[in-house]
Structure 1
Amino acid sequence: MITNTELEYKGDLYPNQIVDYIRDTHKLYFTTENGVILELTVLQDGVFRFRYATERVFQPDFSYAVSGTANYGYNRLEITETDTEYLVETDKIQVLVDKKTLRVQISDLEGNILNEDELGFHWEENYEHGGNTVKMSKIAQNSESFYGMGDKATHFNLKGKRVNNWCTDQYAYGKDQEPLYKAIPFYIGLHNNKAYGVFFDNTFRSYFDFAHERRNVTSFWADGGEMNYYFFYGPQMSEVVRAFTNLTGTPELPPMWAMGYHQSKWSYFPEKNVKEIAAKFRQLNIPCDAIYLDIDYMDGFRCFTWDKKKFPDPKRMIGELNKDGFKTVVMIDPGIKVDRDYWVYQEAIENDYFCKRADGPYMRGKVWPGECNFPDFTNPEVREWWAELYKEFMAEIGVHAVWNDMNEPAVMEVPTKTAPLDTRHNFDGHRCSHRKAHNIYGMQMVRATYEGVKKYVYPKRPFVITRAAFAGTQRYSSTWTGDNVATWEHLWIANVQVQRMNISGYSFVGSDIGGFAEQPNGELFARWVQLGVFHPFCRVHSSGDHGDQEPWSFGKEVTDIVRKFIEIRYQLLPYLYTMFWRYTTAGTPMLQPLVHYDQEDIQTHFRTDEFIFGKHILVCPVQEPNAKGRRMYVPRGKWYDYWNNELIEGGKEMWVEADLDTMPLFVKAGAILPKYPVQQYVGELKIKELVLEVYYKLGEERSLVYEDAQDGYEYKKGQYSLRRLKLLGREKELIVQQFKDGSFITPYDNFKINLHGLPFKIKKIEVDNVKVALEELKLNGDNSIQITKDFTELHIIGI
């Protein structure tokens, strides 16, 4: 039972005695004497929603974050009332609601406390703005760790930290600087090997204190709106992340070219320069799938226009680049130049699509074009109009993808860096001020962009990028970590941020490789590429005012190293594509921090550098200059060194040698990694055989290979190939079984199987229970076998 705690904050108001209880199927309502209502909704056995109203009035129930395709349903719901409490129980957790204070305590079915209110819900009347500041405080459990919260540039484990959420244009931000570009108010708590998650679905500026002010208390609060949060129970962290991702959604599968290497700069112009960059990639045989055009391609920075002096015939240029395997990605910002002769501005004025101030005039702010107005993307009519603006770019000129920047929204030459807080928004019919709409402004802009790009690149798949985001933005767009700096510290920050984003529901993310601000040296650039090729979104981008930042900008040694690692990414594209398929269908993050991979191992709880790429590859970037190697933690289990096939036992810290041309990479024993041949761009080659790198293990391991046409929507009609591969290793046997689903016919007929770590010499091989002559399988001295792709069971027997 929850005991009363002395109330510490005199200005705060608290619920008191419960006087009424009502059950409406899966919704439970508890009303207190002083007019507080707790609406407790059971969504799944391990997912509850807690929503509080004061003065007996709930605000309209509306969320941009929650996906319309989220799955709900539970097996059992029982409510028991005693003299002092209500007990709500499902097949996974029990929630105790204290009758005297409305505080809650959440436990598993064995009675282990998972999460417990301290002061619980309380609020303060905000006389400056009207409405309430809503607050929640929880007891921080012994040895509890905290993770998540999106793009925070701080240590991966958030214990002892305080952060806040307010999408901000934070050029050249530093370590621990707050806030940044994204607002993802979701965290994971872990203690006693049990993980849970909390998502505070409130778009006002919010704050989270992870035992910073008081070491035994974790709290979160917002400047307005409702106290409305979701609780997710694991007990595995992976279950928490999947449940949160189910609630907020996943993207559809992007085209495979979007997973290639991309090159960007502020800015590539004129056309001659763009063509020279493209030609250099092909000349040096460095794979690349996309070139980006920053704001200088526009006429006076006016969105949806072209500077005809720099780009006299963009359709021709884009077509020629496409023939050479380069997709063209263009930047679009939200600020629309105030210009009566500018057609986009005219349409917005005629239809009243711009945001207005509280006292009537249009909200104006300075951005790249000068004085601008800003479309109200929270208005569905505006989003529909904005989507249609992409018709010429995508359907007629042939642009392949769009990059939304400055959409926090960023406003120059004002201390707040953004729109005035009295700016008005439609908020899909729930009219409000910028205080409420700010954090979802960028999300709704890229939502509109996504709808337009999707419509006009059809039957191809859309690819869109955003800088600002709220929880759920992953449904529409990839993202990157903003305007970082070319320093070793920022290499560390990028590593942490991408891991954090992945367990915050947002996997399609990367950083500006090499740093956006300032100039890297060749060593830093090479080390950053080594990390970046193992991020879901892989793009070099720089501010351009300090020199060139292409793969060949730092001399032959660095060029060769960069090529080597980009080629590894292109070889691993079917592995990466499979990772993405698992993310879109099951909500499985594409990168796993070590604590997500093995939370039972206490050594992982404070690890920052190492991560699991997909399911089977361990990556640890080198993050210091002049390094010949580094110490790293290898998680429990057996791992093969990617470079020399040495088998090591994990669960320990070890020194790994890594000169500049290499980095620590390991493959989990039992893994089967699919590989393509190196291509200069996706689709350059017809794949004649799929390479399967098979890593022997004593025991069992499962792998997946997902393939389809790499673009288009036929995969949604069953035109895909999903191979479920099971490896079973014994002392003198190796069995690989294949179970195939889907009707897509892959272009290759055979697998080339490379065997790693086989502890015996091959005596005979059976395919589907039929002995096959070794010469028929083209068995080589290096333990590679060529075999039909349609086998069901490969049985290798040793001497």
Structure 2
Amino acid sequence: MIINTQLENKGNLFPGKVLSFYQDVDKIYFKTENGVILQITIIRGSVIRFRYATDNNFENDFSYAISNEGARGYSKLEVGDYENHYKIKTKKIVIEISKSDLRTSIFDISGKVICNDDWGFHWEQSYEYGGNIVKMSKSAPQGECYYGLGDKATHLNLKGKRFENWATDQYAFGKDQDPLYKSVPFYIGMYEERAYGIFFDNTFKTFFDFCNERRNVTSFWAHGGEMNYYFFYGPDMQDVITRYTDLTGKPELPPLWALGYHQCKWSYYPESKVREITQKFRELQIPCDAIYLDIDYMDGFRCFTWNKDYFPDPKKMVSELEEDGFKTVVIIDPGIKVDDDYWVYKEALDKDYFCKRADGPYMRGKVWPGECYFPDFTNPEVRKWWSGLFKEIIDDIGVKGVWNDMNEPAVMEVPSKTFPNDVRHNYDGNFCSHRKAHNIYGTQMARATYEGVKKYAYPKRPFIITRSAYSGAQRYTSSWTGDNVASWEHLWIANIQAQRMSMSGMSFTGSDIGGFAEHPTGELYTRWIQLGVFHPFCRTHSSGDHGNQEPWTFGEEVIEVTKKYVELRYQLLPYLYTMFWEYAEYGIPMLKPLVLFDQYDLQTHYRTDEFIFGNQILVCPVQESNSKGRRMYIPRGNWYNYWTKEYITGGMERWVDADIDIIPMFIKEGALIPKYPVQQYVGEKEIKVLKLEAYFKLGAKEVSKVYEDAQDGYDYMKGRYSLRTFTVTGKEKEVIIQQHKDGTFITEYDTIEFEFIGLPFTIKEVEVDNVIVDLRSVQSSENDTILGIPKDFKEIHVIG
């Protein structure tokens, strides 16, 4: 208590002695002698909400981040009153609350500490703005590691660092620069191989300190609002992430074309240039599904307009591009030009939909069109109006996707790069200043955009991409990591950013391949495309100021390597789509850093480069120039080198050869990797055969899944999908593959083609559903390890 007294003298206030507690179903309240109330809500047995009030008063309970569709409920809840503490017990954890100062300790069922308060909740009054600066500090045992926080351009393990969450337009940001475009106040802690998570659901400017200021203390605080956080217990890290993603919301499946390769530049115009670019892709046979139009497609950068000099007939152009397999994606920014002859401006002005300053005038700021006003996307009426603006672009012209940029919100030529603090927002009826609304402004713009595109694209699925985001944005949109730089350092950053975003519930993310600012060498672009095809969102984008950045601008060698890897991505689309289905259905991250793949291996805790693509493919980009290979860590278990088919044992670091046309890739033994034939765009070809590369494993059963549906539309929600679950058992002279199929979708193909890799025997006999078949009728004439089997088999035996 001496510490508390000293801190109070510095302006910090702490809870007093607990006077009473009571339980209201799933909520338990503790009241202190100095007006602090702690509300503990049991969301699930391993998901607990902690919410603190001062002055005996909670704010209105409202959050943009929390999904209404997440799982709720628990099987056990006991509350006990002891001499020095209260105890709350669920099936998964035990919480103790100190009667003297409200500090909490959380244990697993066996009594091991998961997370302890250090100073716990404390606060100071904000004289400048009113309300409180709310703070929480937790004990950090030596050896605890930290991950998450969304888009941070730093080492994957956050130990020893401090961060700020304030969505910021950071053109050409650098390594360790903070803050960036997104605010994701969720982190994962891990100690003694037990993982937990904390989501600080506070949209004010927030800070996180992971043992930076005090060696054994982790703390987080906000410049306003409530101390309101959710605690998730694993102990597996993946369970922490899936529970957080369930709470903040899972996405719909995107259309399959959105997982193809996309090409973008600031800017492709006029129409002849767009056609030149798309025709070149088809001429060189580099697969591509989407072409992007940046701000120059508009009339004077006015949103929802077209520059008729550049694009005289956009509907015709978009239609003809689609006939050639290209979906058109257009940019839409939040700034609306102040112009009495501009219909969007006039409508919003008439309806009073623009953000205002504290004393009444509209928020005016300079962006690309010049002087602009900005819609208040925290107003549900404004979101509805905004969604209606997409009718012409989507329904009439036929654009298939929308790209929201500058939505931090970014404002030019002001030191803060954004709105002043005194701008007022509706906040869905919880009126507030920009201090509270800033971090969710971009997400609410993306939400309004998503609702509009979904409405007018129906019965097809919408595709949205946003630069700024807050927790929960994954329900509406994909994302990219902003205005990066064409440098080797940024290739390293992009690799970590995509991994971290996956760990933070936002898997559908990628970087600007090749770098946005400056111009990459052919070698750097090659290494970046090799990495980019293994990111869920795959797009080349550049500023254009330093030269063109299409694959053919770098010469023949780069064309060939680009083609090789983009073709590989298209072959792996059924694998990637199955990854996305697992993410949408269960919240499972699409990319897994090695620590997430195997947290029980201490060697993984500080690895940054290697990651698991889905569940079974290990990828490690080459991130230095003039490299003929690299050292990398192979996780525990046995793996096959994808390129050489060499069988290796993991759990160690090793040198891997990697000439300019190779990215180190390894396949987990026992895996079945589904592949489609190469297409120039999704839907170009009828899929006549599903290929499964079967990597032999001796011993225990391994499970692989393949999810398929119509590749667009919503019939999959009515059961029209195909989910094939394969269980593989390897023996010295036999491989047994069992198939279980769910869903009513009938695939185009009738045959599954197995290619066996690493078989220790020559195939002499094949049995399908208890019937021995003529080997010549199922075996490829070109390769005797390839077997074509009718797709709906239940069990096959491959015998040596």
Shorter-chain TM-score range: over 0.9
Q: Which amino acid aligns with 2:635?
A: P
Matching of residue 68 in structure 1 with residue 56 in structure 2: no
| Displacement of 1:778 | 2.4
How big is the shift at 1:432?
0.1
1:706 aligns with 2:702: no
In 2, the alpha carbon distance for the partners of 1:8 and 1:409 equals: 40
2:724 alignment partner in structure 1: 723
What do you get for the CA RMSD once the two structures are aligned?
Answer: 0.8
Aligned to 2:656: 656
Q: CA deviation at 1:688?
A: 0.6
CA contact (8 A) 1:5 1:118 kept: no
Aligned to 1:368: 368
CA distance in 2, matches of 1:600, 1:407: 40
Structure 2 counterpart of 1:797? 799
Tell me the equivalent position of 2:693. Answer: 693
Report the AA paired with residue 394 of structure 1. I
User: Relative to 1, partners in 2 of residues 1:98 and 1:741: Cα closer, same or farther, differing over 3 Å?
Assistant: same
Letter in 2 for 1:186: F
* Pairing of 1:249-268 with structure 2 (within 5 A): 249-268=249-268
AA partner of residue 743 (structure 2): G
TM-score under structure 1 length normalisation = 0.99
Identity of aligned residues (%): 66
User: For 1:173-252, what aligned pairs fall within 5 Å after superposition?
Assistant: 173-252=173-252
1:62 CA displacement: 0.2
Distance in 2, matches of 1:5 and 1:685, equals 70
- Aligned position for 1:743: 744
Counterparts in 2 of 1:124-523, with a 5 A limit?
124-523=124-523
1:698, distance to aligned residue in structure 2 (A)? 1.1
C-alpha distance in structure 1 between counterparts of 2:667 and 2:274, whole Å = 38
Give distance in 2, aligned partners of 1:582 and 1:53. Answer: 38
3-state SS of paired residue (1:762): coil
Could you tell me how far apart the structure 2 residues matched to 1:722 and 1:225 are?
45
| Partners of 1:187 and 1:622 in 2: CA distance | 28
What is the number of residues matched between the two proteins? 796
Q: For 2:359 and 2:449, locate their aligned partners in 1 and report how far apart those are by CA, in whole Å.
A: 29
- C-alpha separation between the residues in 2 aligned to 1:704 and 1:656? 29
CA contact 2:779–2:785 (8 Å) conserved in 1: no
Q: Secondary structure at the match of 1:553?
A: helix
* Alpha-carbon distance in 2 for matches of 1:752, 1:342: 58
Superposition pairs of residues 538-553 of structure 1, within 5 angstroms: 538-553=538-553
Aligned to 2:785: 783
| Residue aligning to 1:113 | 113
Question: Matched residues in 2 for 1:575 and 1:235: separation?
Answer: 28
Code of the aligned partner of 1:729? G
Aligned partners of 2:207 and 2:220 also within 8 Å:
yes
Name the aligned partner's letter for residue 787 of structure 1.
I
> Amino acid of the residue matched to residue 794 of structure 1?
I
Answer with 372-381 or 766-775: which moved more.
Answer: 766-775
Residue 36 of structure 2 is matched in structure 1 by 36
Q: Which amino acid counterpart does residue 325 of structure 2 have in structure 1?
A: G
Unaligned runs of at least 5 residues, structure 2 = none
Deviations 1:227-246 (A, max 9, x none): 00000000000000000000
CA drift of 1:763 comes to 2.2
Q: Distance in 1 between matches of 2:766 and 2:270?
A: 60
SS of match in other structure, 1:114: strand
Displacement, 1:733? 1.1
Question: What is the rounded CA distance, in whole Å, between the counterparts of 2:73 and 2:793 in structure 1?
Answer: 39
2:13 match: 13
Q: Distance in 2 between matches of 1:794 and 1:370?
A: 67
Partner of 1:625: 625
| Alignment CA distance shift 1:128-1:6 (3 Å) | closer
Q: How far apart are the structure 1 equivalents of 2:210 and 2:615?
A: 30
Does the CA contact (< 8 Å) of 1:182 and 1:468 recur in 2?
Answer: yes
Counterpart for residue 678 of structure 2 = 678
Distance 1:116 1:688 in 2: 57
Q: TM-score, normalised by structure 2?
A: 0.99
User: Partner residue of 1:581?
Assistant: 581
| Cα shift at 1:752 | 1.1
SS in 1 for 2:553: coil
Distance in 2 between residues matched to 1:778 and 1:661, nearest whole Å: 32
Question: For residues 737-791 of structure 1, what are the alpha-carbon distances to aligned partners after superposition, in whole Å with 9 as ceiling and x for unaligned?
Answer: 1000000000010011100000111121111111111011124434100110011
Contact in 2 for aligned 1:7/1:119 (Cα 8 Å): no
Q: Distance between the aligned counterparts of 2:602 and 2:2, measured in 1?
A: 33
SS at match of 1:154: coil
Distance change (3 Å), C-alpha of 1:7 and 1:189: farther
| Alpha-carbon distance in structure 2 between the residues aligned to 1:563 and 1:166 | 39
Q: Work out whether residues 4 and 101 of structure 1, in 8 Å CA contact, stay in contact via their aligned partners in 2.
A: no
Q: What is the Cα deviation at residue 644 of structure 1?
A: 1.2
Check the 8 A contact 1:30/1:38 in 2, yes or no. yes
| 2: CA distance, partners of 1:450 / 1:782 | 49
- Aligned partners of 1:80 and 1:371: how far apart in 2? 61
Q: Deviations over 1:65-112 (max 9, x none)?
A: 000101111110001111100010011100000000100000001111
- Which residues of 2 match residues 636-647 of structure 1 at below 5 A? 636-647=636-647
Structure 2: how far apart are the matches of 1:778 and 1:125?
76
Give the match for residue 47 of structure 1: 47
CA distance in 2 between partners of 1:97 and 1:790 (Å): 56
CA distance in 2, matches of 1:325, 1:4: 70
- What is the rounded CA distance, in whole Å, between the counterparts of 1:413 and 1:520 in structure 2? 28
Query: Distance between the aligned counterparts of 2:356 and 2:193, measured in 1?
Result: 50
Q: d(CA) in 1 for partners of 2:6 and 2:658?
A: 54
Determine the C-alpha separation between the residues in 2 that align with 1:254 and 1:512: 20
Letter in 2 for 1:171: Y
Matched residue, 1:101: 101
Quick check: 1:613 aligned with 2:613? yes
What letter is aligned with 1:580? Answer: F
Using the alignment, how far apart are the partners of 2:352 and 2:764 within structure 1?
Answer: 78
Which SS does the other structure have where 1:452 is aligned?
helix
Alpha-carbon distance, 1:730 to partner? 1.2
State the alpha-carbon separation in 2 of the partners of residues 520 and 750 from structure 1. Answer: 43
Contact 2:336–2:373, Cα closer than 8 Å, also in 1? yes
In the TM superposition, residue 138 of structure 1 has moved relative to its aligned partner by 0.4
Contact 2:573 2:676 in 1 (8 A): yes
Aligned mates of 1:79, 1:346 — CA distance in 2? 58
Give distance in 2, aligned partners of 1:135 and 1:43. 23
Is the partner of 2:764 in helix, strand or coil? Answer: strand
The alpha carbon displacement at 1:39 in A equals 0.2
The one-letter code of the counterpart of 1:769 is N
- Aligned residue for 2:452, secondary structure, equals helix
Instruction: Give the C-alpha shift of residue 441 in structure 1.
Output: 0.2
How far apart, CA to CA, are the structure 2 residues paired with 1:74 and 1:588?
Answer: 21
The residue type paired with residue 634 of structure 1 is I
User: 3-state SS of the aligned residue for 1:706?
Assistant: strand
Tell whether the 8 Å contact from 1:250 to 1:475 is kept in structure 2 after alignment: yes
Deviation of 1:142 (Å): 2.2
Cα deviation digits, residues 370-428 of structure 1 (max 9, x gap): 00000000000000000000000000011111000000000000000000110000000
**Can you give the 5+ residue segments of structure 1 that lack an aligned partner in the other structure?**
none
